[in-house]
Amino acid sequence: MLSRYIFTIAIFHGLISLCMSYFPQLTLYSGHNYDGDRVTFSTKRSSLTPLEEEFFRSARSYCVTGWWRGYENANFVAGSSNPFNANNVSGISCWRNGDKITKSLRFMGPSDTSTSAISAYNGVPNSGDHYSGIEVIVLATEYEASFDFAPSGLLITGMSNWTAFYERNFTGPSTCFIPTSEIYTVSLGTFQVLSVRLGCN
């Protein structure tokens, strides 16, 4: 009887874990009502093809799962105008689309939002854009990591807690980040972070 009870709990836990996982996908439509020709993205693309760029600019609606960002330049380099930015982690949502110049495109963080990880982005200094450029993903299984750059923004997934340190060797002033959502973002501003460690003491 006890083994059956444990087995039932295990199945229930597995179903909850499955329901809490979201795999990023972005579909663009040529029509205003999520119809017509379509192009679907499910991977990070450092450089879109000319045809994909044109379709992105002319698309009139889209549906999204996860957090996706478009960039006006290749290799996830931001430009001067408002980039494509869509965020939904509770399922799939659809919106009307405006003209967006997009030459590279990615979902933010790991491919499964339930993965315990912290992602760091160098961003564009003094621009308010904290999530462009280099992306370094540190999985919870790695436990800790140091960065070769001072991140401008952090993204935490999997509801995992992380301690961020001022110095690369896990010393100096530190702060603990305790996420309150499946995809939790931190704009660092003037606070320097050069190393992170899983958990908070």
Block means of pLDDT (10 residues each) for the chain, length 201 residues? 37 37 86 92 96 92 90 88 75 76 93 93 79 94 94 94 95 95 88 95 76
Same domain, 49 and 96: yes
Same domain, 60 and 95: yes
Q: Look up the CATH number of the domain holding residue 148.
A: 2.60.20.10
Count of domains for the chain: 2
- 162-to-112, 120, 193 alpha-carbon distances in Å: 18, 12, 12
Domain containing residue 78: 25-107
CB 66 within 8 A of CB 5: no
Helix (H, G, I), strand (E, B), or coil: what is residue 56? Answer: helix
Residue 157: in which H helix or E strand, if any?
strand 153-157
Same domain, 79 and 125: no
